[in-house]
Structure 1
Amino acid sequence: MEQTYKKILVGVDGSEQAMEAFRKAVEVARRNEGEVIVTNVIEQQMTTALTVAPLGNEYIEEQMAHGNEILERCRLYAESVNFSKITKDLTFGQAKSVLAIELPKKHNIDLIMVGQSGLNRVEAMMVGSVASYVIRKAPCDVLVVTPTEKQEETEK
């Protein structure tokens, strides 16, 4: 059975791990004549708590501007490698559920690509790993992208 991926979702937060996942998602989409939906999720819990604070709206606007800047960098990268099938998505919510549940349903996603976290074991246990949640809850295939530097370390 041949598997092709036509709708690929990748979450970006500005980290190098996420950007590497995005770059690889573009190549997977190109090979499969598919589309990349790239999203930046603004954590809803933070924005809900801050909207009642005096500077809350200013913070939300900063987060939206930052998210749009990250998405625009993705668009520019895709353009630089002659890939045009990209949809930018700025979303409010909890990153785990947005990536694993909401956007896969909304866009009929058949592959989610996530960057491997830079967290150490204690941080991952305390914060929880978005990647591990997505792997457990996603309705489609999930590909965790290992940073190139880790691949090179393993080869030595």
Structure 2
Amino acid sequence: MGYNMQSYQNILVGIDVHGPEWDKPFDQACIYALNHDATLHIATVLNTKTYTTEERFDPKLKELKQHAHEMLDNYKQKAKDKGVYQVNVIFDTGSPKTRITRHLAQKHDIDLIVVGANLANKAEKFVLGSVADGIVREARCDVVTVK
């Protein structure tokens, strides 16, 4: 009896503007996109809880948004350089795990999410929760975590 591997059409890779380089999860998402001839959605969700909601009151927020857009454009070009031509970039704000699992995945018909698993210590995970862990628990599609 053979195993039929699911074919993915829309793959989302989450990139954190606050975190370290996300090359490993991104590279893995590109491989999946190439192998499945899928659209790659590169998303960053800016957690704005620590900022005011309006840029005019918080210049750091404007700077962070600009950085996020530049980073997304950079990853889009990297994907094209790897041969992935169906690429969509997504910028959003709010809670990353909530926005990705409850909004972006449905809006873009995502059937695979690729996220980086940060190596937070136990205390950080207890207090803050891990975005990757939250996505694994809440997603209605397949999730691949990459260390």
TM-score, normalization by structure 1: 0.83
Structure 1, unmatched stretches of 5+, are 147-156
Q: Could you say what secondary structure the match of 2:110 adopts?
A: coil
Q: Structure 1 residues 109 and 54, CA, compared in 2 at 3 Å: closer, same or farther?
A: closer
Q: Structure 1 residues 38 and 54, CA, compared in 2 at 3 Å: closer, same or farther?
A: closer
Q: Structure 1 residues 67 and 53, CA, compared in 2 at 3 Å: closer, same or farther?
A: closer
Matches of residues 2-151 of structure 1 in structure 2 within 5 Å?
2-14=5-17, 15-16=19-20, 18-47=22-51, 50-51=52-53, 55-56=57-58, 58-146=59-147
Task: Give the helix-richer structure, 1 or 2.
Answer: 1
RMSD of the TM alignment (CA)?
1.9
Over the matched positions of the two proteins, sequence identity in percent amounts to 28
Partner Cα separation in structure 2 for residue 94 and residue 75 of structure 1: 23
Structure 2, unmatched stretches of 5+, are none
Partner Cα separation in structure 2 for residue 20 and residue 142 of structure 1: 15
Q: Could you say what secondary structure the match of 1:3 adopts?
A: coil
Number of residue equivalences: 143
Provide, for residues 63-82 of structure 1, a one-character-per-residue CA deviation record: whole Å limited to 9, x for no partner: 11111121122112112212
Letter in 2 for 1:41: V
